[in-house]
Amino acid sequence: MALTPRIAIDAMGGDVGVRMMLAGAAMARHKHDGLRFLLVGDEGQIKAALENHPNLRAASDIIHTDGVVTGEDKPSQAIRKAKSTSMGLAIDAVKRGDAGGAVSAGNTGALMAMAKLALRTMPGIDRPALAALLPTLGDNDVVMLDLGANTDCDANNLVQFAVMGAAYARTAMGLEKPRVALLNIGTEELKGTDEIRDAAAMLRGAEGLPMQFTGFIEGDKLSRGDVDVIVHDGFSGNIALKTIEGTARFVTDLLRRAFTSSVRSKIGFLISRPATELLRHHLDPNNHNGAVFLGLNGVVLKSHGSADAKGVANCVHLCAELIEKDITRQVTEDLANFRSGHAA
């Protein structure tokens, strides 16, 4: 039975503030009229923004607080003032059961620290991981994790990430048996660190899990669509993510420069505009906005700080989907099956 999604929104998080966060929530509710919200932040600003969104106003309750986690706050500082900030209260609503999930566009490190402290990690999970969907040339997006929550990981961490990533791929992309690979410097079995090779050995021996372990994948294949889940430590993953984002900006900026360099180029742009618009849509980060902290006893998503209303809406939709399909239960069951398979 699907869970009814009620989502706590940190209305004060992000670069663009209350109006953009609420515009995104309103856009999400127009497409999913069963959604309900807890809007956390300055009540005056929230009510002013709700004047433009009567559909959202009818489905929302407000939790007032003046406190805000800034981009400069260290995780330890954010934790100390968690009970008085919009981010902390949004997470607390998930802990209390008043919301099925929370969405924030605020400080990533602070969000991770507060969510881990409030919600705790699931049984069988040593560390939560930050996972996101990225576009590929294949039929499906790819799940990448960890994207920066854990810089150092042992083999058990990587195996747990693989199990969680596969459950996420089944939930978010509807895949029956996702293809899972470990990011490595080569595809040969002897390549990589001891941790990566040990994790591969454990995953090759995993039976009864709804996933296919395909071995290693190199960095130049991340966007090919050959696998559905790519697992790595947070240090490598964050570098890979930033490289992908930088390359996407490089390509779009290069095309823009090329198409404006001469009259002939501008004519060429008009002719090729349908193709360039398709490229722009494919590379637009707002279409894949929303990174989830997997491994917690609750659903918490990080929206990009500069996301527009469409990007926020996509993040809210993803949060609702993870609540409805009970991602926490799926991960718990998969971990139990993995442990029982190894015990046997």
Q: What confidence tens digit (pLDDT) does each residue in 131-170 have?
A: 998 888 888 889 999 988 888 899 999 999 999 999 999 9
The mean per-residue pLDDT over the stretch 221-241 comes to 91
68-103 burial string, b = 16+ CB within 10 Å, else e?
A: bbeeebebeebbebbeebbbbbbbbbbbeeebbbbb
Q: pLDDT tier at 1 (50, 70, 90 boundaries)?
A: very low
Among 12-16, 162-166, 202-206, 293-297, name the one with the lowest average pLDDT. 12-16
CB 280 within 8 A of CB 80: no
Output the pTM of the full model. Answer: 0.87
CB 171 within 8 A of CB 219: no
Alpha helices in the chain (DSSP H): 17-31, 43-50, 54-57, 75-80, 86-96, 108-119, 155-173, 194-204, 234-259, 263-283, 309-324, 327-343
Residue 271 has pLDDT above 80, yes or no: no
Q: Among 135-144, 247-256, 274-283, which range has the highest average pLDDT?
A: 135-144
The DSSP secondary structure of 231-296, one letter per residue, reads E--HHHHHHHHHHHHHHHHHHHHHHHHHHTSSHHHHHHHHHHHHHHHHHHHHH-GGGG--EEEETB
Q: Which of 332, 337, 292, 296 is nearest to 121 (CA)?
A: 296
Spatial separation of the C-alpha atoms in residues 74 and 27, rounded to whole Å: 32
Q: What is the tens place of the pLDDT at every residue in 18-52?
A: 999 999 999 999 888 889 999 999 999 999 999 99
Selected from 3.40.50.720, 3.40.640.10, 3.40.718.10, 3.10.180.10, the CATH number assigned to the domain covering 126-291 reads 3.40.718.10
Which ranges in the chain are annotated with CATH 3.40.718.10? 1-124+295-325, 126-291
Q: Which of 177, 180, 108 is nearest to 142 (CA)?
A: 180
CB atoms within 10 A of CB 319: 27
Q: What is the tens place of the pLDDT at every residue in 17-26?
A: 899 999 999 9
CATH of domain 1-124+295-325: 3.40.718.10
- Order the strands of the 101-104 sheet from edge to edge: 60-64, 36-41, 6-10, 101-104, 299-302, 291-294, 129-134, 142-145, 229-231, 179-183, 212-217
Residue 323 has pLDDT above 80, yes or no: yes
Ramachandran quadrant class, 329 (left: phi over 0; alpha: psi -120 to 50; beta: rest): alpha
Q: What is the tens place of the pLDDT at every residue in 70-94?
A: 888 898 998 998 899 999 999 999 9
Residue 198 has pLDDT above 60, yes or no: yes
Q: Which of 150, 186, 124, 140 is nearest to 343 (CA)?
A: 124
Spatial separation of the C-alpha atoms in residues 39 and 11, rounded to whole Å: 6
